[in-house]
Amino acid sequence: MGAQNNRNRKMQDLIGNEHLGRFQEKTMCFMYDFDALGGAASALTLTDAAGNAQQLPDNALITSATWDVTTALASGGSATVALGWTGTAGGIKAATAFDNAAYVAATQVSGLVVNGKMSAASSVILTIGVAALTAGKMYLYITYVEGF
């Protein structure tokens, strides 16, 4: 019974973005998984960690982005990767070689300051250029506040 009560208390301590006020920073996690999304040279819409569609809300003011590469990106060619949102492909990170230090496994690039405001609810995208990716998995954490 004690273990169940501890679990219940921990669950009560969890606060989702929907419970935070307008001016409190919120964070959403987006995932790129080669096994689920493929690696063709194109713009790929990132999902939540369970593979479901999600978007940054209208008027979100992005304050920072952090990504965690859990499986290194790979390519048979000289692929480039950009991170951004609908209409702003390189808004978080401009096109960079897939094997750049920023994209190797176990790399965490954090505290990257991003100045972007969503003019509508927007998908987060990973844009692959030049050549296809053949492997990779990463999580992108975007921190934002809700603007007007």
Task: Return the bridge partners of 144, or none.
Answer: 26, 62
4-17 per-position pLDDT tens digit: 555 544 445 555 66
Domains of the chain as residue ranges with CATH: 21-146 (2.60.120.1110)
d(CA 55, CA 30): 9
d(CA 103, CA 110): 12
Cβ burial, residue 60 (10 Å; 0-12/13-18/19+): buried
- pLDDT beneath 50, residues of the chain: 8-11
Residue 9 pLDDT = 46
Residue 37 pLDDT = 97
Global pTM value: 0.82
Residue 3 pLDDT = 56
Strands 133-146 and 26-33: antiparallel
